[in-house]
């Protein structure tokens, strides 16, 4: 009875072959589930971004399920070579149709793997700058200081020169001012030092720098270089700009600008 049941045919397939294919499918799915757990553990150890985590997991699952289909198809007599060829041709046609999206996807994977920036960093890429809000596989979204959202294609972003202003714990604030030649160097440096000491935020280590950095046509150029925590950069920058002007006024330092002196000569008399 059992032998007759197993020998029962549906088309070219016997019941025994169908049952063995179903058993093989169950085994393959169980192995796939086990391998996916191993993939998840490996991804967690790699500490990759969430978007890349989902992409790797989806790609691994698709590959394992595709391999399962090939194994089961081969077990019931379906010509696997023809199936692979057909899928290859279809995949080529699809890849040509969506090559721009694939380029963006490749750029997104490069960004997620190399990590030139993470969510929350303030970056500059080409002529665009802003705070990173989301790193997707196709687009990266930036939020500008005036609350605009910019979506940058990852293939363009991955080929740009990227400046990350948030990757380090501290940043240097550079303030350049000009003072009159009439004011002594010590007087100007004393005023700049007072301005620096009046502003909260600059770090004592590394030590600040105050000095002459240029002799211009109508003034002497002085530069303040002070280190501060990255999160405090803009607060220190603008506070120091205001404090320098106030300190110059308190110390009698003239903040000059380019000007032209015109000397009028008296008219000459005839015969002179």
Return all residues near 215 (Cβ < 8 A) that are at least 6 apart.
221
Within 10 A of 88 (CB to CB), how many other CB atoms are there? 10
What is the C-alpha to C-alpha distance for residues 141 and 208, in angstroms, rounded to an integer?
Answer: 36
User: Within the chain, where are the H helices?
Assistant: 2-6, 15-46, 50-75, 80-97, 99-114, 154-158, 185-198, 233-250
Return all residues near 140 (Cβ < 8 A) that are at least 6 apart.
108, 111, 132, 134, 151, 152, 154, 157
Of 259, 174, 248, which Cα lies nearest the Cα of 216? 259
User: What is the structure's pLDDT at 8?
Assistant: 47
What is the C-alpha to C-alpha distance for residues 146 and 136, in angstroms, rounded to an integer?
Answer: 22
What is the C-alpha to C-alpha distance for residues 148 and 130, in angstroms, rounded to an integer?
Answer: 9
One digit per residue, the tens of pLDDT, for the chain of length 272 reads 545 544 545 555 566 677 777 888 888 888 888 888 887 787 677 665 666 666 677 777 877 887 888 777 777 776 667 666 666 666 666 555 555 656 666 777 777 777 888 888 999 988 889 999 988 777 888 999 888 999 888 888 878 888 999 888 999 999 999 999 999 999 999 999 999 999 999 999 899 999 999 998 888 999 999 999 998 999 999 999 999 999 999 999 988 766 666 767 777 666 55
Q: Phi/psi of residue 253, each to 5°?
A: -95, 130
What is the C-alpha to C-alpha distance for residues 144 and 28, in angstroms, rounded to an integer?
Answer: 49
Tell me which of 3.40.640.10, 1.10.1660.10, 2.30.30.60, 3.90.950.10 is the CATH number of domain 116-164. 2.30.30.60
User: What is the structure's pLDDT at 53?
Assistant: 67
- CATH code for the part of the protein at 10-97: 1.10.287.1260
* CA-to-CA separations, 195 to 176, 205, 223, 261, in angstroms, rounded: 13, 18, 13, 31
User: What is the structure's pLDDT at 6?
Assistant: 47
Return all residues near 181 (Cβ < 8 A) that are at least 6 apart.
219, 220
User: What is the structure's pLDDT at 178?
Assistant: 92
Structure token digits, residue 46: 């790699």
User: What is the structure's pLDDT at 266?
Assistant: 75
What is the C-alpha to C-alpha distance for residues 192 and 197, in angstroms, rounded to an integer?
Answer: 9
- CATH code for the part of the protein at 170-250: 3.30.70.100
Structure token digits, residue 101: 């999206």
What is the C-alpha to C-alpha distance for residues 38 and 35, in angstroms, rounded to an integer?
Answer: 5
Domain locations in the chain as residue ranges: 10-97, 116-164, 170-250
User: What is the structure's pLDDT at 80?
Assistant: 66
User: What is the structure's pLDDT at 5?
Assistant: 47
What is the C-alpha to C-alpha distance for residues 196 and 224, in angstroms, rounded to an integer?
Answer: 8
pTM metric for this prediction: 0.60
User: What is the structure's pLDDT at 50?
Assistant: 65
């Amino acid at each position: 009875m059992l032998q007759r049941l197993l020998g029962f045919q549906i088309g070219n397939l016997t019941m025994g072959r169908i049952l063995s294919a179903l058993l093989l499918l169950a085994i393959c799915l169980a192995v796939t589930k086990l391998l996916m757990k191993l993939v998840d553990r490996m991804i967690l150890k790699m500490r990759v971004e969430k978007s890349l985590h989902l992409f790797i997991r989806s790609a691994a699952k698709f590959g394992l399920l595709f391999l399962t289909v090939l194994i089961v198809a081969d077990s019931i007599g379906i010509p696997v070579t023809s199936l692979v060829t057909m899928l290859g041709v279809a995949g080529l046609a699809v890849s040509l149709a969506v090559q721009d999206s694939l380029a963006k996807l490749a750029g997104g994977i490069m960004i997620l793997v190399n990590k030139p920036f993470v969510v929350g960093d303030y970056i500059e890429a080409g002529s665009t700058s802003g705070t990173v809000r989301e790193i997707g596989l196709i687009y990266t979204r930036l939020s500008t200081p005036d609350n605009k959202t910019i979506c940058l294609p990852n293939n363009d972003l991955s080929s740009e020169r990227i400046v990350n202003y948030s990757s380090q714990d501290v940043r240097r604030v550079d303030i350049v001012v000009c003072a009159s030649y009439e004011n002594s160097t010590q007087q100007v440096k004393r005023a700049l030092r007072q301005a620096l000491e009046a502003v909260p935020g600059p770090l004592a280590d590394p030590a600040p720098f105050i000095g002459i950095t240029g002799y211009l046509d109508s003034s002497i150029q002085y530069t303040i270089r002070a280190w501060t925590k990255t999160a405090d950069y803009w607060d220190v920058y603008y506070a120091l700009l205001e404090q320098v002007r106030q300190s110059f006024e308190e110390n009698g330092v003239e903040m000059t600008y380019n000007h032209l002196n015109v000397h009028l000569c008296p008219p000459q008399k005839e015969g002179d």
